[in-house]
Structures are given as structure tokens and as C-alpha cells.
């Protein structure tokens, strides 16, 4: 599983002109399932992003997590994070999970996040989304959880 997390002042997702998810200060996370990923990797990615310390403490150091700050969490499905860009000028998406697996794992992450965090919004799986955000910092981290026994 891959998560591209960005600390934001605000973020939103529109589908066909309608806002489907929006947050104020918090994290906007692009979420991608790869072949071989299961609920185990999804849970590990969620635990990592909920605990990842990207918010400043009183001393100005990144020592606080989204859980500590109780900020918003906007989860957006994004299969292109799994792109293989090693050769040529056109990405291959063969490392991405099949659409049904990607949807299942994204929905799992959302359900688990809503059980563990107060403010959770989402994009729409498979939709043509327009994502807007104000990256705070900018602060952006790429997180990856590999399946047990499956090297990438």
C-alpha cells in the first residue's frame, strides 16, 4: 500500500462540480493499493499515517500526529501512485491492484479510519476527481507498506 500524505491548511475533492469531501487543517492522503496488498497492509498504512508526526509542537519541531492535533483527514484513491516509470515515457500501471481489490482496500482503510479518527472525508473511487489543496509547509511524505514476503 502506498500513501502520499500532505499536511494541508485545507483540501477538497470535487466530482462533476460537487464537493464530495473537504477538510480544514489536517492531512490529505492519496491512497493506492498494489498487487499483493491485503487488509494487513491497509491497516499498517493507516496506523503509520495516523501516527506520523508531521505537525509542529510548541518548540516548532514535527512531533505531533494527526491523532494528536485532531485535524481533518481526507483520503483520496489514487492508483497512479503504483506506476512503473522505469522505462520509456509512458507509465505502466501493472503494479497497481485490480480495480475491485483497490476499491475493497480503499473502502477498508476508510472504514477503519472512521473508527479511529473523528474527521474523515474521502474522494470517490474510480471517479474523475478534481483535488484542491493548500499544502502547509510544504510538507509531503511518501509512505509505503510492502506485503510480507513480497519484495517490490
Q: What is the pLDDT of residue 21?
A: 98
Interval 130-152: pLDDT, tens:
999 999 999 999 999 988 655 55
* C-alpha span between 70 and 152 (Å, rounded): 33
Burial pattern 105-123, b for ≥16 Cβ within 10 A else e, equals bbebbbebbeeebeebbbb
What is 2-144's CATH number? 3.50.80.10
Active site amino acids = 78-80
* C-alpha span between 57 and 27 (Å, rounded): 16
Interval 16-35: pLDDT, tens:
999 999 999 999 999 999 99
122: pLDDT strictly greater than 90:
yes
Is 43 strand, coil or helix? helix
Provide the pLDDT confidence category of residue 101 given band limits of 50, 70 and 90.
Answer: very high
| pTM to 2 decimal places | 0.94
Domain range summary for the chain, segments of one domain joined by +: 2-144
64: pLDDT strictly greater than 90:
yes
Amino acid at each position: 500500500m502506498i500513501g502520499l500524505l500532505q499536511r494541508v491548511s485545507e483540501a477538497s475533492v470535487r466530482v462533476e462540480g460537487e464537493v464530495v469531501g473537504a477538510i480544514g487543517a489536517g492531512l490529505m492522503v492519496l491512497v493506492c493499493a498494489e498487487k499483493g496488498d491485503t487488509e494487513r497492509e491497509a491497516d499498517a498504512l493507516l496506523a503509520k499515517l495516523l501516527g506520523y508526526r508531521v505537525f509542529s509542537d510548541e518548540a516548532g519541531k514535527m512531533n505531533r500526529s494527526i491523532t494528536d492535533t485532531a485535524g481533518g483527514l481526507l483520503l483520496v484513491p489514487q492508483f497512479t501512485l503504483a506506476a512503473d516509470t522505469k522505462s520509456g515515457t509512458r507509465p505502466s500501471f501493472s503494479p497497481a491492484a485490480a480495480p475491485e481489490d483497490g476499491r475493497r482496500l480503499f473502502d477498508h482503510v476508510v472504514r477503519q479510519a472512521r473508527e479511529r479518527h473523528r474527521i474523515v472525508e474521502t474522494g470517490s473511487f474510480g471517479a474523475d476527481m478534481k483535488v484542491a489543496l493548500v499544502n502547509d509547509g510544504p510538507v509531503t511524505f511518501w509512505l509505503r507498506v510492502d506485503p510480507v514476503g513480497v519484495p517490490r
